[in-house]
Amino acid sequence: MGASGLNVAFAVTCGFLVLDKPAGLSSHSCVGRVRRAYGLKRVGHGGTLDPAVTGVLPIALGPATRLLPYLTGDKTYRGVIQLGVRTDSDDLEGEVLERKPVPALVDAELEAALDRFRGTIQQRPPAVSAVHVNGERAYKLARAGVALELQARSVSVHHLGLLSWTPDQGQLELEVNCSAGTYIRSIARDLGDALGCGGALARLRRTEALGFGLQQSVSLEQLDQEPRPLLVDPLNALANLPRHPLEPEQLQGWRCGRLQDCDPRWEADTAVVVVSPDGNLAGMARVQATGTLQPRLVLDAAG
């Protein structure tokens, strides 16, 4: 959004930063770094990454924090699974519970074992995870010594590709494209169980999240440099959604939260990007009924 938008400050402080998160930092810590670098209080992230996991961490700045629910939830990962070991966290960061020999396997046998994890599956999250259990995070309960057996839930694995298999190390590398809420650690655990030797996630890197990829990412070090990295325009981030351009005479009504006429072909409850007459983001709406838009987010609302 250029200087022709609502105002220059808005253009600078409303957008998305795609951080290439390093290992060893929590997602919350990364948000703090971005907040200090841009001098903003209103900063949030989309899609938590465990401290050991690297890669794409989308961060919203300013009013863009309210746009996070409208971004696509699918994610893509590249990860390495270590067979022959079980841990309490389903990755190599946890306490080892058991070690077993890894059977002699060829690619075809691994592909057959992986096939049960493709499509819509029932998956039990790791005990050490951010899942809520009676109002508490599962990882807090697990670290307090509470024995947990979390309920399985439905997730979608759109693509699960075997990239490499190293028999002498018992390691396989995978690429996974999946729905939000899918745990690659659970795939590692369950694959190991299916093969009879146990498995744990050795390392993981997220390459895509919420429609953003590594090619758009910046490092933490770049936050300390001048000029600060440019933000991704919200209109680019929302490019997959239909758009409704406002005519000049409709702008005031939109700013007051009035219903808008729209394309009658749009299905009810469709999320729609509303664009102001000057070509900037005016907000978000949902199709309430055939040919009618209900404002849900008005960025420059009338007082």
What pLDDT, on a 0 to 100 scale, did the predictor assign at position 226?
A: 93
In tens, the pLDDT along 57-79 reads 999 999 999 999 999 989 999 99
Active site residue 50: yes
What pLDDT, on a 0 to 100 scale, did the predictor assign at position 135?
A: 59
Count Cα neighbours of 54 within 13 Å in the Cβ-side half-sphere. Answer: 15
**pLDDT (average), residues 280-295:** 94
In tens, the pLDDT along 106-119 reads 999 999 999 999 99
Domain boundary (208, 225, 255) is at 208
Q: Rounded to an integer, what distance in angstroms lies between the CA atom of residue 257 and that of residue 250? A: 11
Domain annotation covers residue 3: no
Domain annotation covers residue 281: yes
CATH of the domain at 130: 3.30.2350.10
Residues 6+ apart with CB under 8 A from 59: 16, 17, 18, 19, 30, 31, 34, 43, 44, 45, 46
- Asked whether the predicted pLDDT for residue 161 surpasses 70, the reply is yes
Domain annotation covers residue 303: no
What pLDDT, on a 0 to 100 scale, did the predictor assign at position 137?
A: 56
Same structural domain, 64 and 93: no
**pLDDT (average), residues 213-234:** 95
Q: Which domain holds residue 139?
A: 75-208
- Asked whether the predicted pLDDT for residue 273 surpasses 70, the reply is yes
**Set 50, 90, 91, 233: catalytic member:** 50
Same structural domain, 190 and 224: no
Degrees, nearest 5: CA angle 258-263-266: 100
Q: Rounded to an integer, what distance in angstroms lies between the CA atom of residue 119 and that of residue 155? A: 8
- Asked whether the predicted pLDDT for residue 144 surpasses 80, the reply is no
Nearest CA to 196 among 81, 127, 111, 113? Answer: 113
- Asked whether the predicted pLDDT for residue 231 surpasses 50, the reply is yes
In tens, the pLDDT along 196-218 reads 999 999 999 999 999 999 999 99
- Asked whether the predicted pLDDT for residue 172 surpasses 60, the reply is yes
Burial (CB count <10 Å: 0-12, 13-18, 19+), residue 151: exposed
Q: In angstroms, what CA-CA distances link 184 with 48, 122, 242, 258?
A: 13, 13, 32, 44
pTM of structure: 0.88
- Asked whether the predicted pLDDT for residue 285 surpasses 50, the reply is yes
